[in-house]
Amino acid sequence: MIELREITKEYGKKDKIVAVDNVSLRVEKGEIYGIVGYSGAGKSTLLRFINALERPTKGSVHVDGIDLLSLSNKALRKARQSIGMIFQGFYLVASKTVYDNVAFALLAAGVSKKHIEEKVDHLLNVVDLADQKRKYPSQLSGGQKQRVSIARALANDPKVLLCDEATSALDPNTTKSILSLLRNINKKLGITIVIITHEMEVVKEICHRCAVMREGRVVESGTTFDIFSNPKDELTKTFIQNVLEFHLPDSLIDQVQGKLVKLMFLRDLATDSVVSDMLQRFKVKGNILHGKVEYIQETPLGVFIMDVSGEEAEVNQAISYLEKRVNSVEVINDGTHYQALA
Amino acid sequence: MMEHIIKLLPELNVAFFETLIMVGIALLFAVIIGLPLGVILFITDRGLFLENKWVKQVVGIIINLIRSVPFIILLVFLLPVTSLLLGTTIGPMAASVSLSVAAIPFYARIVESAAREIDKGVIEAAVAAGASPWMIIRHIVLPEAKPGLITGLTITAISLIGYSAMAGTIGGGGIGDLAIRYGYYRYDDTVMFTTVILLIVIVQLVQYMGDFIAKTVDKK
């Protein structure tokens, strides 16, 4: 649906700043694609290539088979009508009512007055704001404003919806409801969605695939589950830490008697039986200190931290048993070592 | 003193309407020509949807040129033009030519700065929606800048009331002319004070009305 090929964007003449550096990206039809990175990574610029708000210095942009960069102004306006966009700052017209804000997008596309009325009412129903249509943006909450802007973006039945940090200005609960609205839109209307964000939670919640950007380049990309369960780049690891990692208090680590292991279960949660099997087979004690199961795209990803104590040989055997049964075992702290020292 | 003022009333009445005509015509041209020029200055700016360095430069330079000429000089300078247009250089109609020429660039700059107050994101959103430049001007730029445009028109009107006194001196008529003729040339303090008070009242009224309308249309 969307194809960016070898895109580079440079600013300035003398002291060139490379905002986007030779990026290629493909987003399939009906997909929700996330682009993650810190501010200044070039993700916002990358998103704006998809509706040609930004023109790359080099490279090509195709959306739904159309080469956007070759279009005349008029044809580009037409093409943009099938690419909706929402923003972190909502960008509603303060002097227009909710109704007129949505109607503007239809007016811009040359839809007749009669059809506009029907369509706006329908759209406001979709975003659950039918009762607010006579209000002005200043009278709405952040979440409601974003819903209006979603309605506006959907006005001309777009094939693609671009989201520029759409939830970054919202509180966690409102973020959840906007994300579930986006997920519904994707499922029911089959609209391809591209989201840029610095919040890994957003990616975890709704993106099928994602890319991680740093300094204008895509450093890692893949399905969201793969990125979460097996991150390769340091930046990716830092990002998912916010969602998956947890810290144990130092005092607790000091008290550990055996080996502190981190177990990771992917896709299949046979935790109980694996751990109890281990405890039955080996003469060790097991104590779960921390644990979390995240559902990424409805696939479970479990992480547990466990203190395995006993005789060192038994503990080692138990751990190698675990290594066979779970996806990843990592010894984070070897308490037996400290004991020996004492 | 009262008698004196009453005797002056017919002349004061005429002068009042002369001022009204001069300022009114100049304001009309400020809106008809100054507003589009201001919008052009704004939309041809860097990063906006009709970015055009040359147009912006040319319009900008012409506006600065007119604005840098002191009004009293502009008045004299435009006498041949006025004579060509109207066949006379006397009367409120003649005075409104130079007042209009002064008002147009003045208001154009105000329009430009009012439009700059609009969040660029709102315009970007409209561009992203595939709206044409005309659509964006009509449905986004003008409505969003409306409170600023009205405040700006108030400022222009009040400046023009001041300028109209100067225009009066070279035969334009109006309240200012009355003040100068009686007050300055004939040392008639009563007329001078009456006209000044009248001007103060007009300015206060214009300001009050302008603020009131600007507030009513502001939905922020």
Hey, are the CB atoms on B128 and A156 less than 8 Å from each other?
Answer: no
Indicate if the pLDDT at residue B119 is higher than 90.
yes
**pLDDT, average across residues A56-76:** 94
Q: Is residue B159 pLDDT above 90, yes or no? A: yes
Separation between Cα atoms, residue A228 and residue A311, nearest integer Å: 34
Contacts of B68 (CB under 8 A, 6+ apart): none
Q: Which of A83, A91, A137 lies nearest to residue B125, judging by beta carbons?
A: A91
- Confidence class of residue A272 from pLDDT cuts 50, 70 and 90? low
Q: Could you say which DSSP state residue A54 is in?
A: S
Indicate the pLDDT class of residue A48, thresholds 50, 70 and 90.
very high
Measure the CA–CA gap between B8 and A328, rounded to whole angstroms: 102
In B115-134, the residues whose Cβ lies within 8 Å of chain A are 119, 121-122, 124-132
Asked whether the predicted pLDDT for residue A30 surpasses 60, the reply is yes
Q: Going by DSSP bridges, is the β-strand pair A66-67/A58-63 parallel, antiparallel, or unpaired?
A: antiparallel
What does the pLDDT average to over A304-319? 86
pLDDT at residue A335, rounded to an integer:
55
**Residue range B10-28, pLDDT digits in tens:** 888 999 999 999 999 999 9
Rounded distance, CA B99 to CA B107, Å? 12
Taking only Cα atoms into account, the Rg of chain B, rounded to an integer number of angstroms, comes to 20
Least-confidence region, from A100-114, B117-131, B157-171: B157-171
Q: Please measure the distance between the N-terminal and C-terminal CA atoms of chain A and give it in whole angstroms.
A: 63
Q: What are the distances in angstroms from CA A241 to CA A34, A227, A250?
A: 17, 12, 18
Q: How far apart are CA A310 and CA A313, in angstroms?
A: 8
Spatial separation of the C-alpha atoms in residues A128 and B71, rounded to whole Å: 58
CB contact under 8 A, B119 and A138: no
Distance of alpha carbon A163 from alpha carbon A149, whole angstroms: 11
Distance CA A19, CA A333 (A): 42
Round to whole Å and give the CA distance between A216 and A126.
36
Model pLDDT, residue A174? 94
CB–CB of A9/A217 below 8 Å? no
Residues 6+ apart with CB under 8 A from B168: B95, B174, B175, B176, B177, B178, B180
From A53, A94, A156, residue closest to B127, measured CB to CB: A53
Question: What is the distance between the alpha carbons of residues A53 and B47, in angstroms, rounded to a whole number?
Answer: 10
Q: How many CB pairs under 8 A join A and B?
A: 81
Contacts of A149 in chain B (CB under 8 A): 125
pLDDT tens digits along A158-196? 999 999 999 999 999 999 999 999 999 999 999 999 999
Beta-bridge partners for A330: A262
Region A313-320: what's the mean pLDDT?
86
| A339, pLDDT greater than 60 | no
Give the tens place of pLDDT for each residue, A221-236. Answer: 999 999 988 888 989 9
Is the pTM value of this prediction over 0.90?
A: no
> Average pLDDT of chain A?
89
Which residues from chain A sit within 8 angstroms of residue B122, using beta carbons? Answer: 91-94
Sheet arrangement for strand A17-27: A17-27, A2-11, A58-63, A66-67
Report the C-alpha gap between A327 and A274 in whole angstroms. 12
Q: Locate the chain B residue with the closest alpha carbon to A103.
A: B139
Sequence letter at residue B141: V
Nearest CB to A108 within list B119, B130, B146: B130
Greatest mean pLDDT among A315-324, B45-54, B141-150 lies in: B141-150
From CA B196, how far away is CA A136, in angstroms rounded?
43
- DSSP letter, residue A28: -
**CA–CA separation, B197 vs A203, rounded Å?**
69
Which residue of chain A has the CA closest to B219?
A: A95
The string of pLDDT tens digits covering residues A132-144 is: 999 999 999 999 9
Quick one: pLDDT band at residue A266, thresholds 50, 70, 90? confident
SS3 per-residue string spanning A84-134: EEEECCCCCCCCCCHHHHHHHHHHHCCCCHHHHHHHHHHHHHHCCCHHHCC
Q: CA-to-CA distance for B140 and B43, rounded, in angstroms?
A: 12
Chain A within 8 Å of B135 (Cβ-Cβ)?
A: yes
Mean pLDDT, rounded, for B88-92: 88
Residue A107 touches partner B, C-beta closer than 8 Å: yes
Task: State the Cα–Cα distance between residues A39 and A55, nearest whole angstrom.
Answer: 20
For helices A98-108 and A113-126, what crossing angle results, to 10°?
130
DSSP codes, chain B: -HHHHHHHHHHHHHHHHHHHHHHHHHHHHIIIIIHHHHHHHHHTSTTSTT--HHHHHHHHHHHHHHHHS-HHHHHHHTHHHHHHHHS-S-SHHHHHHHHHHHHHHHHHHHHHHHHHTS-HHHHHHHHHTT--HHHHIIIIIHHHHHHHHHHHHHHHHHHHHHHHHHHIIIII-SHHHHIIIIIIIS--HHHHHHHHHHHHHHHHHHHHHHHHHHHHH---
Is any Cβ of chain B less than 8 angstroms from the Cβ of A45?
no
Q: What is the 3-state secondary structure (H, E, C) of A252-285?
A: HHHHCCCEEEEEEEECCCCHHHHHHHHHHHCCEE
- Residues forming a β-bridge with A144: none
Cα B70 to Cα A290: distance, rounded to the nearest angstrom: 79
| Res A185: pLDDT | 95
Angle at B120 between CA B55 and CA B122, to 5 degrees: 120
Query: Given pLDDT bands bounded at 50, 70 and 90, which one contains residue A264?
Result: confident
